Homo-oligomer: A and B are copies of this chain.
């Protein structure tokens, strides 16, 4: 293993003392979910105990996910299925961040505005919560084969001002063609806005890796020659939504916990949070983390083999 001594090396949380010092530094922990809390449908070891321990220590717990297929409400059910009690306001998903960004930052009016969706119900629900009318998305008529003469989505709806692209595991040419038409149409000298919930290139599902939102977004980037605003980690709209939802957060007392350097850890660093913790239960390995090729701008302050190590190291102190 090559260790680069020029960079500030991450601290491995491997003793009770290090774990205690780490916990004392932060009031709020922001968690990525897949690869940190669970892997697909399997809860990772001692996660439930660690979350309980943090709650007992009066830490605020927030869950930050790029998954755009579920609304926050639906996401609480996923937690419940693992026996973890989480309320809707503890969850910041990329669909929620996208809807918040469109409403609060872009200040797009809800009256007379429609949003064309490439994606599933999560993003539709979050936009509806703000009062937007969505079209496309989960509409079953889009599952018909593309035929320009029979599609009910032509001619284009002149009220569509924005195209939002999230993960859609029923993506097809019909959906790509209509999104393409909206994105290449100029009305009143204005292009239709192009927004992506996130641009993760892949995602894990059913013990497989599958093409992610990023692969759908890049397809439209190539055909239209346009680049979208990207909302999810590691981009700033996600952070804006987070601090808007939680105005009491003190950045220096927040720690981002994740399994990916280029999304989770970068998100924590770019967001100027007090700390970052990488866990090795997801996509990264210790060798990769400590190699000289790792971008210094994506290096966490701390790392641990798994999130559950915090419980296993600390627990004797509490008993």
The B-contacting residues of A in range 203-259, CB under 8 angstroms, are: 205-206, 208-212, 214-223, 225
B170 touching A173 by the CB < 8 A rule?
Answer: yes
A170 to B177, CA, bound (A): 11
The reply to whether B170 and A170 contact each other, CB–CB distance below 8 Å, is no
Complex interface residues of chain A between 136 and 150 (CB less than 8 A to chain B): 143, 145-146, 148-149
Query: Which residue of B has the minimal Cβ distance to A206?
Result: B148
A184 within 8 A of B: yes
The answer to whether A215 and B222 touch across the interface, beta carbons within 8 angstroms, is: yes
Write out, one digit per residue, whether chain A residues 114-155 have a CB within 8 A of any chain B CB (1) or not (0): 000000000000000000000000000001011011000000
Considering the complex, give the chain B residue whose CB is closest to the CB of A184. B209
A215 touches B211 (CB 8 A): no
Copies of this chain, how many?
2
Interface membership of A298, Cβ < 8 A: no
What residues of B have a CB within 8 angstroms of the CB of A145 in the complex?
Answer: 143, 170
Closest chain-B Cβ to A316's Cβ sits at a distance in Å of 43
Tell me whether A288 is interfacial, beta carbon within 8 Å: no
Q: Can you list 18 A-B pairs, Cβ within 8 angstroms, ordered by A?
A: A146-B169, A148-B205, A171-B172, A171-B176, A173-B211, A177-B210, A180-B210, A181-B208, A184-B209, A211-B222, A214-B222, A214-B223, A215-B223, A217-B222, A218-B219, A218-B221, A218-B222, A219-B219
